[in-house]
């Protein structure tokens, strides 16, 4: 793997005066990337979104110059409004727009199933649609995270089969992954380094020129497989580090020590960066990308090894919402409340603070675990409109959600939760109990107000050892 970064002092000029771009998939990556490109002179961008009961509304919202996301997204709606007003961006469900595209970006979801195998239904469909309509000379860039080896062994082969064109000769193809997260979509697309791996030098050059229009940081160039590996390994690295913090947090709980004090002194050394624990890992990337890495190894590697460390990290992080459930049961036990008679209000349905993104949210596992124990579960979130994991309503009024509850179980670090009037909350609750999965509350302050308190990585009061 040879990685260099592109010298953009000399423009490559591989695009036309007016370049037509189609972005397939209007999600957390596709939308911000599409509208940033649409804000570039000479680019005409169309967002292609399958119209369904769940996602079809995005087309109408985007064409009104609005953002379909409920969470806090600095600059995004401003850019959407501007490019819609300029007429350089529109959204549609008409796949025929692919016929005129000079550049096509693939930004569809690539989830894994219950057996941790990649589900490429959307990726294969997008590739087939492109292959049936692609014109000679077009550039296709896969931005969706895929198992290493997928761009050339799946996407390229489908496009070639459907089109009769040869990749790297009659059309260009590259993989270039995103590094975005809800709440910082524009910032991360513009200011994060970019990695580009084309199937040929020309594919790489064209892709570098494309992203140089919107990326201010360095653009690193490598081969396609190395770029795919870089993305999945980067997220596996993050997942492993979080898993270590989560395991250590449970050790500290058992020993009666605050893990955040431990992290502080460890990270006081400049070359240490221990991650922070929490109620679980969510989002579209971390829960699946380690499995994509493993799949790529099994499918395309020269020999088969089991990435045990990476797999163990996934199991630890998946366990954390269950651990939260056990903390809830322990706290209620200390107050004399039977778990199967309890009302628990889960604070946060999204996986990330101040976002409406519920993909792989730890809240889903926590809710399921509590319900298995016979708990009556309520759900509060200031941004999420609908709970997709079962018949639960998402309450918007925090005080209404807390009324009569026996426990508040905080899963998501929404900024609203750090500003709660705990005195008012206590009066509303049937049993004043808090389980904190994100280190939002100060232990002594909460206990002083009369709450039974448990937290990931912290010890509340002396009852905790009874269940551990």
> Known catalytic residue: 252?
no
- Nearest CA-CA partner of 316 in 287, 284, 274, 351: 287
d(CA 76, CA 66): 9
427 in catalytic set: no
- Total Cβ atoms within 10 A of residue 260: 17
Burial class, 297, CB count within 10 angstroms (exposed 0-12 / middle 13-18 / buried 19+): buried
The sign one gets for the Cα dihedral 281, 285, 291, 293 is: negative
Active-site hit among 33, 252, 285, 407: 285
Which residue in 58, 231, 288, 413 is the catalytic one? 231
Say if residue 117 is exposed, middle or buried (CB neighbours under 10 Å; 0-12, 13-18, 19+).
Answer: middle
**CA quadruple 18, 179, 134, 64: dihedral sign:** negative
With H, G, I as helix, E, B as strand and everything else as coil, classify residue 373. Answer: coil
E-assigned strands of 177-324?
194-198, 219-223
Cα 214 from Cα 423, distance rounded (Å): 48
Closest CA to 45 of 53, 35, 58: 35
Q: Which residues are catalytic?
A: 231, 285
């Amino acid at each position: 793997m040879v990685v260099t970064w592109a010298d953009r002092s000399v423009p490559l000029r591989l695009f036309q005066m007016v370049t037509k771009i189609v972005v397939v998939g209007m999600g957390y990556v596709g939308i911000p990337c599409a509208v940033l490109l649409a804000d570039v002179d000479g680019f005409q961008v169309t967002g292609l979104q399958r119209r369904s009961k769940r996602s079809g509304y995005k087309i109408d919202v985007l064409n009104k110059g609005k953002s379909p996301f409920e969470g806090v997204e600095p600059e995004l709606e401003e850019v959407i409004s501007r490019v819609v007003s300029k007429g350089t961006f529109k959204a549609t469900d008409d796949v025929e727009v692919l016929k005129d595209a000079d550049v096509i970006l693939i930004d569809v979801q690539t989830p894994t199933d219950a057996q941790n195998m990649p589900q490429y239904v959307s990726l294969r469909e997008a590739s087939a649609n492109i292959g049936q309509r692609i014109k000679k000379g077009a550039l296709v860039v896969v931005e969706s995270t895929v198992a290493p080896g997928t761009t050339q062994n799946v996407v390229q082969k489908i496009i070639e089969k459907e089109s009769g064109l040869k990749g790297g000769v009659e059309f260009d193809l590259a993989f270039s992954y995103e590094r975005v997260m809800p709440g910082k979509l524009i910032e991360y697309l513009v200011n994060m380094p970019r990695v580009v791996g084309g199937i040929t030098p020309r594919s790489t050059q064209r892709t570098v020129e494309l992203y140089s229009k919107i990326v201010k940081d360095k653009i690193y160039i490598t081969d396609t497989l190395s770029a795919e590996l870089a993305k999945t390994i980067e997220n596996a690295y993050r997942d492993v580090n979080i898993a270590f913090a989560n395991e250590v947090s449970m050790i500290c709980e058992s020993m009666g020590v605050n893990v955040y004090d431990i992290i502080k002194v460890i990270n006081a050394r400049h070359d240490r960066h221990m991650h922070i624990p929490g109620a679980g890992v969510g989002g579209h990337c971390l829960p699946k990308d380690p499995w994509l890495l493993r799949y790529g190894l099994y499918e395309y590697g020269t020999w088969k090894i089991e990435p045990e460390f990476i797999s163990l990290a996934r199991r630890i992080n998946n366990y954390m919402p269950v651990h939260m459930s056990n903390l809830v049961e322990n706290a209620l036990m200390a107050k004399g409340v039977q778990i199967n008679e309890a009302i628990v209000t889960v604070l946060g349905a999204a996986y990330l603070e101040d976002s409406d993104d519920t993909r792989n949210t730890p809240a889903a596992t926590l809710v399921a675990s509590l319900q298995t124990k016979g708990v009556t579960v309520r759900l509060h979130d200031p941004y999420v409109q609908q709970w997709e994991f079962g018949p639960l309503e998402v309450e918007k009024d925090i005080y209404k959600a807390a009324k009569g509850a026996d426990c508040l179980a905080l899963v998501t670090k929404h900024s609203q939760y750090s500003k709660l009037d705990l005195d008012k909350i206590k009066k509303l609750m049937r049993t004043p109990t808090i389980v904190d999965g994100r280190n939002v509350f100060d232990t002594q302050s909460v206990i002083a107000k009369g709450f039974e308190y448990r937290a990931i990585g912290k010890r509340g009061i002396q009852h905790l050892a009874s269940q551990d």
